[in-house]
Amino acid sequence: MKNSHALVIFSGGQDSTTCLLWALRNFDKVETLNFHYGQRHSIEQQCAEKIAKKLNVAYQEVDLSFLKELSPNALTSQNEISLEGGFKNLPSTFVIGRNALFLTVATSWGLARGIEDYVFGACQVDYSGYPDCRQSFIDSQAQTLSLATDSAVKIHTPLMNLSKAKTFQLAQELGALDLVLEETHTCYMGERSVKHEWGYGCGTCPACGLREKGYKEFSSWL
């Protein structure tokens, strides 16, 4: 795509970093947008900024901390993280409509800069109860944003049907497995002092658990 221009919704985690690497392979110009919404820690943002710098792409943060007031939940408060007990018994880390909000804000920001292509790390394999990670939602959201803005908004989700193990494999194919292992952040607890073969993290929270399991499966293919 000549003169193609994409915006990656970028948290600094494994998934969105792999999306960024994918975008750099598929678009001429790539920018990143990071959302802060009162998470427990800002380590994820520090990682995001560092990765963007390493890859020489524009990095912009948008403060969505008003989200905290909308849907109090474990990610944004000091409540204990649990995998149940949230809205409709979804995990308590679920911010209602979070991905709809991210994509809507990203489009508002991007279209003002002439960007119609958005890259987002949603994945319906590791779905685990999040309805806003499914392809049916993503397709509907792109259609809605196109109608809202008289544009041809496209939302690319290169990880949609990949397991965590296959996401590690994609990073390897894109020549950046080391970057993913060293620089991306996943741990809910914000732990980066403990190093494992699959990266940094507490090793016990659900996010670390998924990453470890994925890496072990990926390693078994090598």
Buried b (16+ CB within 10 A) or exposed e, 189-214: bebbeeeeebbbbbeebebbebbbeb
Of residues 57 and 100, the one with the C-beta less far from a second copy: 100
In the stretch 129-168, what mask flags binding to a second copy with x, by CB under 8 A? Answer: --xx-x-xx--xx-xxx-xxxxx-----------------
Number of Cβ atoms within 10 Å of the Cβ of 164: 24
Is position 70 an interface residue for a second copy (rule: CB under 8 A)? yes
Alpha-carbon dihedral 20, 123, 214, 17, rounded to 10 degrees = 10
Among 26, 29, 97, 172, contact with a second copy (rule: CB under 8 A)? 97
* Distance in Å, CB of 57 to a second copy, minimum: 19
Per rule CB under 8 A, is residue 96 in the interface with a second copy? yes
Check binding of 95 to a second copy (CB under 8 A): yes
Interface with a second copy, residue 100, by CB under 8 A: yes
CB burial readout 79-93, b (16+ within 10 A) else e: eebeeeebeeebbbb
E-state strands within the chain: 5-9, 29-36, 58-63, 117-119, 154-156, 195-196, 199-200
Strands 154-156 and 195-196: unpaired
Please work out the total of residues on this chain that contact a second copy, with binding judged by CB under 8 A: 40
Q: How far is the CB of 106 from a second copy (least distance, A)?
A: 9
- Which position among 18, 34, 93, 107 is part of the footprint of a second copy (CB under 8 A)? 107
Min dist CB 221 to a second copy, Å, is 34
Look at the alpha carbons of 200, 7, 61, 129 in this order and tell me if their dihedral is positive or negative. negative
Residues found near a second copy in the complex (CB under 8 A): 62-64, 66-67, 69-72, 87-88, 95-101, 104-105, 107-109, 111-112, 131-132, 134, 136-137, 140-141, 143-145, 147-151
